Structure 1
Amino acid sequence: MAFGDDESVQQPLIQAKEITIHGRRNHPWMVYLSTFVAVCGSYEFGACAGYSSPTQSAITAELGLSTAEFSLFGSILTFGAMIGAITSGPIADLVGRKWAMRVYSAFCVAGWLAIYFAKGSVALDAGRLAGGYGMGAFSYVVPVYIAEIAPFSLRGALTTLNQLMICTGVSVSFIIGIVLPWRALALTGLIPCAVLLLGLVFIPESPRWLAKRGAHKEFEAALQKLRGKDADITLEAAEIQNYIQELEQLPKANMFDLFQKRYLHSVTIGVGLMVFQQFGGINGICFYVSNIFEMAGFSPSVGTVIYALLQVVITGIGATLIDKAGRKPLLLFSAVGLVIGCILAAIAFYLRAHDTSEKAAAILAVTGILVYISAFSVGMGAVPWVVMSEIFPINVKGVAGSLATLVNWFGAWLISYTFNFLMEWNSCGTFIIYALINAASIIFVIMVVTETKGRTLEQIQAAINA
């Protein structure tokens, strides 16, 4: 079977929204249930990321922490996430996607309990490190699992729910953190873990992982369960099995193998998108958005609430568009918006630095930041994770996904660490630097990124890694 021959595979695989067989209609409800369970890990990611902002004053006051001690508590999350990124791929390949999510949930549960019972900075930091590990690992395994279970016509939208739930978790932590004590807020982080662990009992393992492990009966049972009991899975199963057999003839991949010509294109796309996602400034702006609004002369509380709500709404809109508009158009639209947002913010801080029209500076700053987060949420926030989950062949997916996720988290740490120093150096120049990086991402997307809309994973990977 030719993997590039769309017509030979698309017709039997059109089981996306409903399947009609012998007059009976099947809806892919198991795909939706499995996605819902998996994105509880994404919500957990957001809950971990959003925890420190609303709790800073309460924790430092009750436990007598210095600013440096709380800064360590906040930043150690990204170090845990980098460790999670390194190990997430190999663990998910070894024990399966479901058991990997159980392991990562256990780390998050242990982390929240350590924070809840903490009497000093050591327990706080240990809990934050454990939560960061789970968060970094979830950032890999959730989009990969969803991509491997979803029909191609739903894959983009369902994988984008990963980013939507991350944004929701962050926003909910911001909002309920205003009224809940910090220990009680930590306990709320256990809820998505509980839902995830319970849900994993009822959903199937990734059929593609089962096929790779040679569990043929379990593979067919899982695929049938996902597509519906009356669905004809013969051709889809055959395509997956044939592709797996091709990959099994290759030697087991390691990190150095990723730079072979066969995989270089997919690695360049996956890692490159993660570089541009982070180095365009998102975590510096996200972590310090209140301070940015304050520096610009705008109410930080009002600005932060608008920011939090806007990113959830726009991410939801992006999820509805990704399988219609495609990955590349959303990335390009997003990158252009990021450039515009950065330029507006740069102009605002230039005016403020020269004591020119403070009212106009405040309006431009707020407009620029809101344009920035809207543009990021519609494309550059979610789409790199979707593409990452699609482009790597399953024999290198673990190590390649770990590399891309590690790069992402390293960028998150570096940008969040350097942002305040850059703003002290030159606030206008900071946003000009980010504008230039986002402008470079436009060129990268046009010249390097391959469109993956409307194609099976096997077709995508065969085309990119030919």
Structure 2
Amino acid sequence: MSTVPRGASPLPPLTAGPYRRRLTVVAFVATIGGLLFGYDTGVINGALRPMTEELGLTPITEGVVTSSLLFGAAVGAVVGGRLADGWGRKRTILLLAFAFLAGTLTCVAAPGFEVMVAGRIVLGIAVGAASTVVPVYLAELAPFEIRGSLSGRNELMIVIGAFAAFVVNAVIGNLLGHLDGVWRIMLAVCAIPAVFLFVGMLRMPESPRWLMARGRDAEALEIMRTIRPDGRAEAELAEIARVAAEESAERTTGWRAVLANPWLRRILLIGIGIAVFQQLTGINTIIYYGQTVLVEAGFDEHAALIANVVPGAIGVVGGFIAIVNMERIDRRTTFILGYALTTVCHVLIGIASVAFPVGNPARPYVILVLVVAFVGSMQTFLNVATWVILSEIFPLHMRGLGIGISVFCMWIANALLGLFFPTIVDGIGITGSFLMLAAFNLLALGFVHRWLPETRGRTLEALEQDVTTGAIYTVPRRGRR
């Protein structure tokens, strides 16, 4: 498979140089947004039970508190993508840092249910917008040879953020659990990375591709020279300009342009499918309700809070492995392996909950091992890959719109699962719940095998041309040769 657009000259190769250090710093600062994403979605796992006691929440209002962030994230995904297209990637991330801080302080100070939900919605908008803007920002800054591993660092930071939330919950919950308002301390920790994100992004560059799209070529070249080896910056920007000139008549981000082109409609539906199926793996049921699942499995509350750290740690390990494999394994292969493994894990959890009935001393540990296997499979093969491919498949002129809509659908699926999962577990138990998730994963496996195009090892401009013309669907599915 070609690594450059048709009709283009090969780009100069990447060489060693200080630009690599600059890219590392940029990626680290930007992905603090991913860290905040992970912490804010994971902290509710341990904070919900003491919060419920202090605020007098009912099962219904517990679900509302949990899912309000997720519905807010769905809005943020659409708003963030559009804002980043119009206002710039960097300035949008700066705004999100402020929103993270404001939402955190509102939740920490919440006197009751209503204010808590308002604060969670603000946090959700920030989380959803970060989930669209940060991967696009990284993908547009990265050389195509290392785009997967660089942009995939955002998902790694998300799982690190969730793991940090589990650790903070376990430490604070066991050391300070006797204090009133201990959940407020758990939530307040999020303010620290929010401040670091704002201060750090002040010194980070804007996306050169976004600048080029706005006619600010000189600024784009100045920035590109700091993140590419000598001679490469000029060649890449020339290629971006060439593709933009060829497709200038189609440069619109509106719905009509997408719906009028069958290939753009198709890539949008693929993006939506990839995003929604990622949530239907059930990974966030473990992040939000991991303590509840482990209590249902047989652990007591304090033991479940500690045991919950294990899936978080495995998630981080899986994230590191995923980053290493991003440039070694084709995207399609990664997705097929991931959905096959998660399907098996869900089936085994369902079987184990029957084979080891309540009261069996082995039950909690067997289910914990299988949950860890599921989280490891998910984080190694699916989480990083999902965000990387969403940042790759959409042409520049609809990138914000495409990833915004896809992630909007992702968060709606996430919110609905988060809202109803406790009721589902209560109604059909662990067995029925995880067998249901296994069915969703089996559908996802068929979807990616049939529809997912290969993107590894290709420039964004090459992908853009092939998506717009439909050529991407005619290339061999095995990817690079």
- TM-score, scaled relative to structure 2: 0.88
Alpha carbons of structure 1 residues 9 and 64: separation in structure 2 relative to 1, 3 Å? same
2:320 is equivalent to residue 316 of structure 1:
yes
In 2: Cα distance, 1:387 partner to 1:145 partner: 13
Is the CA contact 1:341–1:367 (under 8 Å) kept in the aligned structure 2? no
Q: Deviations over 1:136-172 (max 9, x none)?
A: 1000000000000001121111111111111111111
In 2: Cα distance, 1:94 partner to 1:273 partner: 26
Determine the structure 2 residue equivalent to 1:286: 287
Which residue of 64, 76, 80 corresponds with 1:88?
80
Q: Deviations over 1:264-305 (max 9, x none)?
A: 232132111112111222222332222222322355234312
Per-residue deviation, 1:4: 5.3
Q: Deviations over 1:218-264 (max 9, x none)?
A: 11112112215x34422211111111223332152323433331312
In 1: Cα distance, 2:374 partner to 2:41 partner: 20
Runs of at least 5 residues in structure 2 that lack an aligned partner in the other structure: 177-181, 470-481
In 2: Cα distance, 1:60 partner to 1:437 partner: 31
Per-residue deviation, 1:424: 3.0
Runs of at least 5 residues in structure 1 that lack an aligned partner in the other structure: 20-24
Determine the structure 1 residue equivalent to 2:377: 375
Task: State the SS of the aligned residue for 1:249.
Answer: helix
Instruction: Give the 5 Å matches for 1:31-110.
Output: 31-66=23-58, 68-110=60-102
Task: State the SS of the aligned residue for 1:205.
Answer: coil
Per-residue deviation, 1:457: 0.6
In 2: Cα distance, 1:219 partner to 1:419 partner: 47
Is the CA contact 1:147–1:389 (under 8 Å) kept in the aligned structure 2? yes
Determine the structure 2 residue equivalent to 1:149: 141
2:297 is equivalent to residue 296 of structure 1:
yes
Is the CA contact 2:94–2:202 (under 8 Å) kept in the aligned structure 1? no
Which residue of 446, 450, 458 corresponds with 2:449?
446
Determine the structure 2 residue equivalent to 1:344: 348
Alpha carbons of structure 1 residues 407 and 248: separation in structure 2 relative to 1, 3 Å? same
Per-residue deviation, 1:393: 0.7
Per-residue deviation, 1:188: 2.3
**Worse-matched range after superposition: 39-48 or 274-283:** 274-283
Is the CA contact 1:340–1:368 (under 8 Å) kept in the aligned structure 2? no
Give % identity: 28
Per-residue deviation, 1:38: 0.7
Instruction: Give the 5 Å matches for 1:186-205.
Output: 186-205=187-206
In 1: Cα distance, 2:206 partner to 2:81 partner: 16
Task: State the SS of the aligned residue for 2:457.
Answer: coil
Q: Deviations over 1:86-116 (max 9, x none)?
A: 2111100110000111111121111112123
Tell me which amino acid in the other structure corresponds to 1:128: R
Determine the structure 2 residue equivalent to 1:255: 255
**Worse-matched range after superposition: 180-189 or 69-78:** 180-189
Task: State the SS of the aligned residue for 1:323.
Answer: coil
2:222 is equivalent to residue 209 of structure 1:
no
2:396 is equivalent to residue 404 of structure 1:
no
Q: CA RMSD in A?
A: 2.3
Determine the structure 2 residue equivalent to 1:462: 465
In 2: Cα distance, 1:66 partner to 1:295 partner: 19
In 1: Cα distance, 2:55 partner to 2:427 partner: 33
Task: State the SS of the aligned residue for 1:318.
Answer: helix
Task: State the SS of the aligned residue for 1:324.
Answer: coil
Task: State the SS of the aligned residue for 2:227.
Answer: helix
Per-residue deviation, 1:62: 4.3
Is the CA contact 1:265–1:465 (under 8 Å) kept in the aligned structure 2? no
In 2: Cα distance, 1:231 partner to 1:273 partner: 37
Tell me which amino acid in the other structure corresponds to 2:73: A
- TM-score, scaled relative to structure 1: 0.91
Tell me which amino acid in the other structure corresponds to 2:26: S
Task: State the SS of the aligned residue for 2:165.
Answer: helix
Alpha carbons of structure 1 residues 32 and 292: separation in structure 2 relative to 1, 3 Å? same
Per-residue deviation, 1:335: 0.9
Determine the structure 2 residue equivalent to 1:183: 184
Task: State the SS of the aligned residue for 2:345.
Answer: helix
Determine the structure 2 residue equivalent to 1:22: none
Is the CA contact 1:340–1:371 (under 8 Å) kept in the aligned structure 2? no
Q: Deviations over 1:365-406 (max 9, x none)?
A: 233212211111012112111101011111111211111010
Tell me which amino acid in the other structure corresponds to 1:391: I
Is the CA contact 1:160–1:383 (under 8 Å) kept in the aligned structure 2? yes
Tell me which amino acid in the other structure corresponds to 2:293: I
Task: State the SS of the aligned residue for 2:152.
Answer: helix
Tell me which amino acid in the other structure corresponds to 1:185: M
Determine the structure 2 residue equivalent to 1:227: 228
**Worse-matched range after superposition: 396-405 or 143-152:** 396-405
Determine the structure 2 residue equivalent to 1:237: 237
Tell me which amino acid in the other structure corresponds to 1:211: M
Alpha carbons of structure 1 residues 198 and 348: separation in structure 2 relative to 1, 3 Å? same
Per-residue deviation, 1:77: 0.7
Task: State the SS of the aligned residue for 1:214.
Answer: coil
Determine the structure 1 residue equivalent to 2:179: none
In 2: Cα distance, 1:370 partner to 1:10 partner: 44
